[in-house]
Amino acid sequence: MTANQLILGDNLEKLKEIESDSIDLIYADPPFFSNRNYEVIWGDEGEVRSFQDRWAGGIEHYIAWLKERVFEMHRVLKPTGSIFLHCDWHANANIRVDILDKVFLFQNFINEIIWCYAGPGNVKNRLAQKHDTIYFYSKSSNYYFDADSIRMPYNEETVARTTRGASKTGIMANVKGNFDERHKNRLNEKGKYPEDYWTDIPRLQGNGNERIGYPTQKPEALLERIIKCASNEGDIVLDPFVGGGTTVAVADKLNRRWIGIDQSVAAIKVSDLRMKNQHIGNLLAKPYELQLRTHDYNVLRHQDAFEFETWIIEQFGGITNPKQRNDFGLDGRMPDNTPIQVKRSDNIGRNVIDNFKSAIERSDKQLFEKNRAEGEAVGHIIAFSFGREAIEEVARLRNKEHIIIELKKVSDIVTYDEGPKVSLTANELENYKFAFEATAESESGIEFYSWDFDHKPEEGFKAEVYLDKEGKQVRKFQPGEHHVAVEAVDKQGLDGQDKVKIKVK
């Protein structure tokens, strides 16, 4: 599995597809053991199904559900790798004793990090819980950790505390409680090492700049500290519960490679929108792959021809031809060297069959005759569909000349469908104020809408509102011409767009 991927699917199954000892860092933020319906954040089928799986039976069932996933996380980590598992008071003790100490072993426990935060706490019968626990385990004693990369700036209080303590040991002289400015500056230059309780990273507020509408979204500063201290540039960071996409967004900014997995269509598509926003205008941004269960027909049909050839041949189990010249027009081969040709089009005609037969005979006559004699396919043609004449010629070759050419439709290899058809209308309510309404059609059903109220076609869709279940928005605008775009996402993760132009006087 290559890095820089957003993957829709059950993380247990997807983790099994990842090579052992290949991941440098895992940040896992599984749904908390709260037995509350607010755990269902996105509300789509994948998330609801996962919620029901976790709650088929109490804490023992939850621990078993999580443990088999952590076992796979341990397998995919490099010997120098580590995991940071984020949990809260509901099950943190069980997770440490019953999962992490057993899978990663007690001797590889590094830290119990307490992330403290403020917020409403009107609880009268107990003390309000205002912290999460992040367990830090390594896979071996030879784990990577860079404390210097996460030094924290000293403030007046911490400098004073540090210099007071130093004066008592005779390291630093302080007269009448005043600390030396030179030492203060030196401390500020280097910064202090963080302890295992973090009070300097607040939770995201309702209207914060990072907010995407995901209730349990973690701040980027939290992931930045974890990723910096436990990985290098170019390392692979894995988040098997990607949620709102904070881990992959931060890993991307820090020039790490990354993999994000989630069972929720909404989680993956919102993370996709977030990554697209982050890449707009960034010429150095690395490309990434969005892996859904169903592919978008229009994207496949209009993809770069060579990229499509390479991808579909790999999906078919073949090996692409890197030469692209002097290859007799053949695009790849199977492991037994049987040729493959790809046509990124529909209704393939007989001429393609004739040309392909001639090409495979010329490219390797001996292999051609061997496959013919053994009744095996002498070649494979992949296309979106085949015309009647092509199908009839393949049948004639099989029956009359004992030459088998396999016609393989793209839909036999991967599942694809067309994205939603979207319609957007705008109505002026009063001066500067407009109401927008989007409607969309998809056989699978519409999951959510996203909005770009300052749409620039040359930049692409840049979400301002990530998750709108209704498809209705009201906005005020400054005088001038404005372009507004809406994107509808269906329950398969496929999307469609529509745009309107409004003039505000």
**Residue 387 shares a structural domain with residue 483:** no
Report pLDDT digits (tens) over 203-261.
987 767 888 877 788 999 999 999 999 999 999 999 999 999 999 999 999 999 999 99
Same domain, 421 and 404: no
- Domain boundary among the residues 256, 291, 326 is at 291
CATH number at residue 385: 3.40.1350
Say if residue 81 is in the same domain as residue 228.
yes
> Are 349 and 211 in a shared domain?
no
User: Tokens for 415?
Assistant: 């599942």
Say whether both 315 and 188 belong to one domain. no
Q: Which of 139, 172, 192 is the last residue of a domain?
A: 192
**Same domain (yes/no): 208, 81:** yes
The verdict on 286 and 203 lying in the same domain is yes
Same domain, 242 and 186: no
**Count: domains in the chain:** 4
Q: How far apart, in whole angstroms, are the C-alpha atoms of residue 421 and residue 166? A: 68
Say yes or no: 131 and 252 in one domain: yes
Let me know whether 101 and 240 are in one domain: yes
The tens digit of pLDDT for each residue in 80-104 reads 999 999 998 989 999 999 999 999 9
- 155 CB contacts (<8 Å, ≥6 apart)? none
* Domain residue limits at 484: 417-504
On whether both 316 and 328 belong to a single domain, the answer is yes
Q: Which of 270, 291, 312 is the last residue of a domain?
A: 291
The domain that holds 257 is classified in CATH as 3.40.50.150
pLDDT band at 176 (very low <50, low <70, confident <90, very high): very low
Q: What is the mean pLDDT of the segment spanning 458-464?
A: 94
> Mean pLDDT over residues 327-337, rounded?
88
Cβ-defined contacts of 368-375 (< 8 Å, 24+): 371/338, 371/404, 372/402, 372/403, 372/404, 375/402, 375/404
Do 122 and 209 lie in one domain? The reply is yes
Q: What is the 3-state secondary structure (H, E, C) of 62-88?
A: HHHHHHHHHHHHHHHEEEEEEEEEEEC
Q: Please state the rounded mean pLDDT for residues 114-129.
A: 85
